[in-house]
Amino acid sequence: MINEIRLIINDHLNPHIGFAIDETIMIQVHNSLAPSTIHFWSCKPTLSIGDDSLEEEEIDNLKKHGIELARRHTFGPGFYVDENTLIFSFIINTKNFDLPKNIRETYAAIYSPIIRAVRSYGIPCMYEDPFYLVEDGKIVSQATQFWYYDVLVFQGVVYLDTNFTVPNRLNLLPRMITSIKNRYKESLSKEEFIKNICIKIINDFKVKLVEGDLTPQEKEFLKTVLETKYTTEKWVLYGIPPLAYDKLLIELLLDNPPTETCSEIEENVKKAIEQSGEEQKIELRIWRKGEARPPGTTVSKGLIEAGKNSLIPAIIINGTLKFTRTSPSQEKILESIKEEMNKIKKHQGQQQNS
């Protein structure tokens, strides 16, 4: 049976919305609520950063030149985007595809259709893994990566007809960039380039591309991702993500194998959540001592503190270490849940009124 991959093609998006869409798809693919997806889009002049931070003077310089600052969730060097740059995002549930076991080989395999598409225009570029596609010492395309459980987000840009003098003159990026148009000299549309890539994807991966759009469920979740993350100063300027979007996060740190006390705590927490009547607004994460944390998941300062100091068992609510080395009653846990839920509702009310 041939695997299907959803193909979403957008023209110009607000950069914050575009990156939020990619994260929304990632979450829904992990939850088996959306198929693996390839997303093509572009946006106004933007500096996209991953895990970097900018100084105030650098931010002022971007504003002065009309360049937006947008943070994405994938790791890797910053890249520049304008209306004539193509952004690509491969959001793949790796469990459903026959990919190389070696992570570098996986990146090379996924990047391959884009590399071959660029070369098909007579540009002898070289892949400097894991980030850059280089021609004559300058970048013509670059990629970044992020793992969320078994979902790989392979995201980047192709500098089609990008105004590369802007980032080069302002020293916005670690390396100089150029454009395919600058080397190719003939007309080249985004539509033509996307079609070229898609043909190579179909041939390389033996998949069927089905053009579509976000599901109603994805569109609804996108609003939450935007409001709680991509439009916040905490995220854009400092890279601080929300713990659980707009949900109350409860983390348990338990022994492995669980002791009788740990089992009792887990049961009491689950019953308290049910009793609160707020199950849809609460996310419970259970961590067991010695188990590896799934890639891409965020952990709170409270959980880090509990693990560092071996405070087991521990209950952390909304990032705050509430109970350690004890088995609180269901009533006590419920009281703490209600207290933190009230804080969230109060904060949401203040945001709506501002």
Number of domains, the chain: 2
Among the candidates 220, 238, 256, a domain finishes at 238
Distances (CA, A) of 89 to 82, 135, 155, 263: 16, 22, 4, 41
Q: What is the CATH number of the domain that holds 277?
A: 3.40.30.10
Q: What is the CATH number of the domain that holds 153?
A: 3.30.930.10
Q: What are the pLDDT digits (tens) for 96-155?
A: 999 999 999 999 999 999 999 999 999 999 999 899 999 999 999 999 999 999 999 999
**Same domain flag for 253 and 212:** no
**Same domain flag for 136 and 63:** yes
Q: Which pLDDT band, with edges at 50, 70 and 90, does 246 fall under?
A: confident
At 31 the pLDDT is 95
Closest CA to 220 of 20, 42, 19: 20
Among the candidates 211, 238, 265, a domain finishes at 238
Q: Is residue 27 in a domain?
A: yes
Query: What residue numbers bound the domain in which 344 lies?
Result: 248-353
At 353 the pLDDT is 64
**Same domain flag for 233 and 287:** no
**Same domain flag for 199 and 340:** no
At 129 the pLDDT is 86
Q: Output helix, strand, coil percentages for the chain, rounded to the nearest 5.
A: 40, 25, 35
Q: Is residue 188 in a domain?
A: yes
Q: Is residue 175 in a domain?
A: yes
What does pTM read for this prediction?
0.93
* HEC readout, 201-231: HHHHHCEEEEECCCCHHHHHHHHHHHHHHHC
**Same domain flag for 206 and 284:** no
**Same domain flag for 218 and 255:** no
Q: Is residue 205 in a domain?
A: yes
**Same domain flag for 98 and 215:** yes
> Is pLDDT of 344 > 90?
no
Q: Is residue 243 in a domain?
A: no
Q: What are the pLDDT digits (tens) for 205-216?
A: 999 999 999 999
**Same domain flag for 270 and 313:** yes
**Same domain flag for 18 and 89:** yes
At 86 the pLDDT is 99
Q: Is residue 124 in a domain?
A: yes
CB 42 within 8 A of CB 83: yes
> Is pLDDT of 88 > 60?
yes
Distances (CA, A) of 130 to 76, 105, 124, 144, 157: 9, 10, 18, 8, 14
| DSSP string covering 75-99 | BS--EEE-TT-EEEEEEEEGGGS--
**Same domain flag for 288 and 163:** no
Q: Is residue 56 in a domain?
A: yes
**Same domain flag for 164 and 286:** no
**Same domain flag for 295 and 198:** no
Among the candidates 238, 263, 297, a domain finishes at 238
